A and B are shown apart, each in its own frame.
Chain A
C-alpha cells in the first residue's frame, strides 16, 4: 500500500474557549474522497486547519502528503488547495484578479497563471463575469470562483468545505462529478466537509463522523453500514400486505430474522442474500404473488443518521450540565 495521503494520531486542539478536537486518529489513502461529517461545531474546520498546518495541535501528530504540517506547513501548502467555508474573495477585486493573485502567491508565473485562470473561469462558466468585481456576485458565483481558486495549482490534496453550498442543482451535479473525477481519474485526495449527505454519498470512499471534537467513527460507508446492519433488509412487493400465514411461513425459513407486513407487501430481514430465493419460495407457496424483492441499500446518510440517533440527547440540545461528556458520547456511539 502506498504512503497515506493523510495520517494522524491523537490529534487534539484546545482553544481558550474549550476543546475543538480530541484524539483524532485518521488514515486516508491517496485518491480517496473522505467525507468529513458532523454538525456545526463538530471540529471539521479545526481538522482542516490542523492538517493544512495553519493551526498547531495541542497534542498528537499528523503527516500530510508525507510532510509534518507543523514544521513543513509552507511546503505542504504548496501541494494542497483549500476551499474555506466562506468563499473568502476580496469583493473589491474582480474574479480574474482574485484568481491571478492566488496564482502569483502560489508561485505560478504570470503567463501560465493567465492561461490557467482562463481555463478555470471557462470550466466554471464564469468567463463572462470575470471582469466584474466580486461584490455583485451571487453566492453560487462566489462559490464557483472560490472553488476555481482552490484548484488553481492542481493540488494533490484538496480540502473542500461545503463546495456545493449555494449552487443550483446543475452546478452542484457538476461539482460532484468534478470531485469524483479528480479522485478517480487524477488520483487526487479530497477531504470533503459537508452537510449535504446525498452528495457525500455519491462520491465518498471513506467517511468520518465528528461530534463535539470527537471522532465517532471512520471507514468506508459500506463497511460501516455492514457493521451497523449485519442483516439484509428485503422489501418484498406483493399485490397486498402480507398475511399472517405468509409471515409465519417466512419466520420458519432458515436465515430469516424477522418478517413484517407493510402496505406494499412485507419487509424481511435475512442474514445472507443467499436466503432470498427461499424467502420468495415461501411467499409463493403461501399463495402470494411477488412483484419485486429488493434489498434496502444502506447509504452514507443512513450510517450518519444511525450514529446521530445514538447521540440524540446531544442534538436535542441538553443544557451544558446535563450533556454527556465526550467519553460518554463515544460509549453511546459505539454501543
Chain B
C-alpha cells in the first residue's frame, strides 16, 4: 500500500459528555441482577449489617429487659463528661440501652457503608476483569464516562439504601424492644440523623473512591478486596474509635466532618474517572 497520510476528516468539535441514562440504567440493571445471584457478595452484604444493626441492638435491649441493670458507673466514669452526665441522670434501667444503642453502636454503623461499598465496587470494577467480561464491554458503544458512572452507582446506590434500611431496622428494633424499659422513642436523635443522611453516603463515597483506585491495579476481586482492605481496615478502626465522639459534637461540626469525608471521597472518585480510560484499561487486559 502506498498511502502514508491519513485522508482528511471532517472535524467535529469535541462534544460535552452528557450521561446516557439508558446505557447507565442497562449496566446497573445487569450488575445488580448479577450481584443478587452471587452468594459470595450477598451474604457478607446482609450478614454484617444484620449482626451490627439488628442482632446487637436487639440483644442489648433484651438483655436490659431480662437482667438486673448492670452497674455502669465505672464505664461512665471513663467517658467524656458531656456524654456521661446525661446518661448517669437517667433511671438505672435505661442507662445501658441508651449508652449502647444510642451512642456506642454509632461507630459500628459506619462500618456498614464502608464495607458494603468496598465489596460492591470490587465486584463492579475488578470483578469485570476477573470474569473476563470487560473486553466485550469495551467493544460496545458505551462511553467511558457512562460506564464509570454506572459502575459507581451500582456500588453507591445499594450501599446507601442498605445502610438506611439497616438503620430503620435498628431504630425500630431498639425502640420496640427497649420500650418496656424506656417508655419512649430514643433513637434516632438529631445527630444520628445527620450521621445517617449525611455522613453515611460520604463514607460510602470514600470506600468507593478507594476501591476504584485499588481495582484499577487488581486483576481479581479477591486481590482488590485484599488491597482495599489494607486501606479500609485502618479507616474502619479509626471510625470505630472516633464516631462515638461524633455524637458528642454539635450539628455543625458533624456536618463539617461529613463534608471533609465527602471531599476526600469525591476527590478519589474524580481521580478514578480521569484514569478510567479505554486505552489504559484495554492495555492491561
Contacts and interface: CB of A to CB of B under 8 A. Distances in A.
B7 interface: yes
Nearest to A25: B1
B9 A97 contact: no
A61 B9 CA distance: 12
B140 interface: yes
Contact of B279 (A55, A74, A84): A55
A78 B139 CA distance: 9
A73 interface: yes
A105 B33 contact: no
Interface in A32-81: 49, 52-56, 61, 63, 68, 71-75, 77-78, 80
Which of A15, A53, A78, A87 gathers the greatest number of chain B CB atoms within 10 Å? A53
A15 B284 CA distance: 9
Interface in B127-148: 131-143
Interface in A271-316: none
Nearest to A52: B139
Contacts of B250: none
Contact of B282 (A49, A78, A101, A104): A49
Contacts of A56: 279
Nearest to A10: B4
A27 B1 contact: yes
A20 to B, nearest CB: 9
Interface stretch (B23-31, B52-60, B86-94, B251-259): B23-31
Contacts of A105: 23, 26-27, 140-142
A28 to B, nearest CB: 11
A88 B285 CA distance: 12
Contacts of A91: 131
A330 to B, nearest CB: 15
Nearest to A56: B279
Which of B131, B134, B139 gathers the greatest number of chain A CB atoms within 10 Å? B139
A157 to B, nearest CB: 12
A7 B30 contact: no
A326 interface: no
Contact of A77 (B12, B38, B141, B283): B141
A143 interface: no
Contact of B33 (A26, A63, A93, A146): A93
Contacts of A78: 141
B136 A82 contact: yes
A10 B137 CA distance: 27
Contacts of B6: 9, 61, 63, 68
B68 interface: no
B4 A101 contact: no
A104 B26 contact: yes
A98 B100 CA distance: 47
Interface string B1-44: 10111110100100000000011001101100110011000000
A82 B139 contact: yes
A78 B142 CA distance: 9
A202 B198 CA distance: 64
A61 B137 CA distance: 24
A86 B143 contact: no
B278 interface: yes
Nearest to A102: B140
A10 B3 CA distance: 9
A149 interface: yes
A89 interface: yes
A74 B29 CA distance: 22
A49 B142 CA distance: 15
Contacts of B134: 88
A61 B279 CA distance: 16
A74 B141 contact: yes
A162 B225 CA distance: 34
Contact of B133 (A26, A68, A71, A88): A88
Contacts of B279: 54-56
Contacts of B283: 15-16, 55
Contacts of B141: 74-75, 77-78, 105-107
Contact of B1 (A9, A71, A86, A159): A9
Given A26-B1, A27-B1, A90 B131 contact: yes
A92 interface: yes
Contacts of A195: none
Given A9-B4, A82-B139, A88-B136, A54 B34 contact: no
Interface in B243-285: 278-279, 282-283
6 contacts: A26-B1, A52-B139, A77-B140, A90-B131, A105-B23, A106-B140
Query: Which 9 pairs from chain A and chain B are nearest by CB?
Result: A88-B136, A104-B26, A61-B6, A92-B34, A82-B139, A77-B141, A25-B1, A78-B141, A86-B132
Given A78-B141, A90-B30, A102-B140, 9 more contacts: A9-B5, A10-B4, A15-B283, A16-B283, A55-B283, A87-B136, A91-B131, A92-B38, A97-B30
Interface of B: 1, 3-7, 9, 12, 22-23, 26-27, 29-30, 33-34, 37-38, 131-143, 278-279, 282-283
